[in-house]
Amino acid sequence: MIGAILESARQMFDEVNGGFGSAPKFPHPAALDLVMDRYVRTGNDHTSNDKLRTVFVTTLEKMARGGVYDQLAGGFHRYSVDERWIVPHFEKMCYDNSELLKNYVHAYQATGDEFFAGVARDIIRWMDEWLSDRARGGFYASQDADYSMDDDGDYFTWTLEEAKAALTEDEAAVAVLYYDIQEVGDMHHNPAKNVLYIRSSLEEIVRRLNIQEERAGALLAAAQKKMYAARLLRPTPYVDKTVYAGWNAMCVSAYLKAAKVLDLGHARSFALRSLDRLLSEGWTAERGMKHVIAYSDPRAEQKEVGGAVPVHIPGVLDDYAFAVIACLDAYEATADLSYFRFARSIGDAMVAGFFDPVAGGFFDTRAAAGRGRRSRCCVCMAMPAMFRITWRRIATRLSRLWRSTLGSRDSMGFLRRLTGWRWCTSSSRTNKSWSSGGMQWPRSCIGLRCGRFALGQRFCVWTPIRLLRRTCRRL
């Protein structure tokens, strides 16, 4: 199945612009992770390795140099309306950026190219500034594309006159070439508006302007700072400060991965503080996981039922699964056994509430009196499909801990001891349900991760042997 998915990805790969398919073009972080995984695993098979490397390197470079990436603040917009990644839908989501953050960290690990590490750091910089509750921990949901019904990305785009007004003559000369800022731009509603994307390399600018490379780099850096400062003075699109459990867990996992690989202590600290808030405010053994930890509008937390009563929206499968994964990631990062215990408790509740004992797999929601047919998503779209990855991703985390610390013994036997027979029975039935339908739609399953999340040994955060042995003894 993995081979069929990779072949589908190769067929859909845009060799000129990167990415998969044509306009509108979405990032597919899960597919890119799968390609990178296979690239690392194939080792010395140079022919297939070159093809795989081209897929993810071209895609990630084209995206980061395009308008779908915020060239001034960092972070990715929702998707591109054209095949060249130039004109985006300007909304910026935390879950898109969490998964893309992992992509760029993995690409840095796979290639050693500092360009990918720089993009990853910029994603964190933007999320720290715009989508994080610095006081309490937690990640906000999104930033809107527009600030009113009358504009279309005006906050993010530039006319030539706006750029020249913010910069000196020398700075503008470099920025105009670098970002391709022209009198006629890219936006239909206002043709003078330009989306910033990297059109010319610094070397080309040096040749065209006949200046030193160091001078060009300094002028570009100054232009970027001034343009961002000028942009901050504009009417700003609304930031949705809702804190969703599942999306926060995704961000926690991404931050912990980046913190380990890029040695970012502040990212690690904030990720753990955010996870602690998620667990303290969003999880109880009696009521389960909340879907929403905090609302952007505090009034939304109350409803009138003979008086003000707090709203409790039950968590869905995504909330449980990503929380389990985040707890296991935190356990690997800190060796704090409490995170492992939380993972087991939440995982037990997930199996009890969402697992389908008849057909296998997991439903999206819990069973509830008076509720109609329960659904489950089988195709990865903007986010990975929980039906397909719930057990496999969690099992990969657990078995990785076993193999990396205690050798190559029977990992399934370890999982049975570690989590109880119910989890392993759920795994077996989920695998059968997952496998029976996966080959029928190879193109629609391009985002399927197939449980290959470790990306080989070089992508793992190994836990010391004594920690897992201690865990086994306590269990």
Contact 371/349 with Cβ under 8 angstroms?
no
Q: How far is 258 from 106, CA to CA, in rounded Å?
A: 9
Which pLDDT score, from 0 to 100, does residue 230 have?
98
- Cβ-in-10-Å burial (0-12, 13-18, 19+) of 29 comes to buried
Best CA proximity match to 401, nearest among 387, 385, 419, 388: 419
Which pLDDT score, from 0 to 100, does residue 452 have?
35
- pLDDT higher than 60, residue 283: yes
Place of tokens 């306009």: 23
In 192-343, the DSSP E strands lie at 239-240, 243-244, 283-284, 288-289, 292-294, 302-304, 308-310
Q: How far is 343 from 328, CA to CA, in rounded Å?
A: 6
431: confidence class by pLDDT, cuts 50, 70, 90: low
Look up residue 342 and give its two tokens.
């939380």
Which pLDDT score, from 0 to 100, does residue 288 have?
95
- pLDDT higher than 60, residue 251: yes
Contact 255/267 with Cβ under 8 angstroms?
yes
Average pLDDT over residues 155-167: 98
Which pLDDT score, from 0 to 100, does residue 389 have?
54
For residue 466, which phi and psi values (nearest 5 degrees)?
A: -65, -25
Which pLDDT score, from 0 to 100, does residue 434 have?
47
- pLDDT higher than 50, residue 470: no
Which pLDDT score, from 0 to 100, does residue 297 have?
84
Among 17-31, 149-163, 275-289, 293-307, the least confident range = 293-307
Which pLDDT score, from 0 to 100, does residue 63 have?
98
Give the alpha-carbon dihedral of 239, 244, 246, 249, to 10 degrees: 70
- Which residue did the predictor score with more confidence, 334 or 454? 334
Q: How far is 284 from 84, CA to CA, in rounded Å?
A: 46
Longest pairwise C-alpha distance within the chain: 75
- pLDDT higher than 80, residue 270: yes
- pLDDT higher than 80, residue 302: no
Which pLDDT score, from 0 to 100, does residue 44 have?
61
Contact 243/293 with Cβ under 8 angstroms?
yes
Place of tokens 């990715």: 76
Which pLDDT score, from 0 to 100, does residue 445 have?
45
Q: How far is 9 from 58, CA to CA, in rounded Å?
A: 14
Which pLDDT score, from 0 to 100, does residue 453 have?
34
Among 44-58, 173-187, 337-351, 434-448, the least confident range = 434-448
Element spanning 270, H or E: helix 265-282
88-110 pLDDT per residue, tens: 999 999 999 999 999 999 999 99
360-415 pLDDT per residue, tens: 788 888 876 455 566 665 554 555 555 455 555 666 666 666 555 444 454 455 45
Which pLDDT score, from 0 to 100, does residue 358 have?
84
34-68 pLDDT per residue, tens: 999 999 988 766 677 889 999 999 999 999 999 99
Best CA proximity match to 84, nearest among 63, 106, 113, 55: 63
Best CA proximity match to 448, nearest among 30, 125, 168, 72: 30
Q: How far is 329 from 253, CA to CA, in rounded Å?
A: 6
149: confidence class by pLDDT, cuts 50, 70, 90: confident
- pTM as predicted: 0.86
Q: Kindly report the CA angle at 193 between 190 and 199, in degrees rounded to 5?
A: 145
349-363 pLDDT per residue, tens: 999 999 888 887 888
- pLDDT higher than 70, residue 250: yes
Q: How far is 80 from 89, CA to CA, in rounded Å?
A: 6
Mean pLDDT of the chain: 83
For residue 314, which phi and psi values (nearest 5 degrees)?
A: -65, 145
- pLDDT higher than 60, residue 467: no
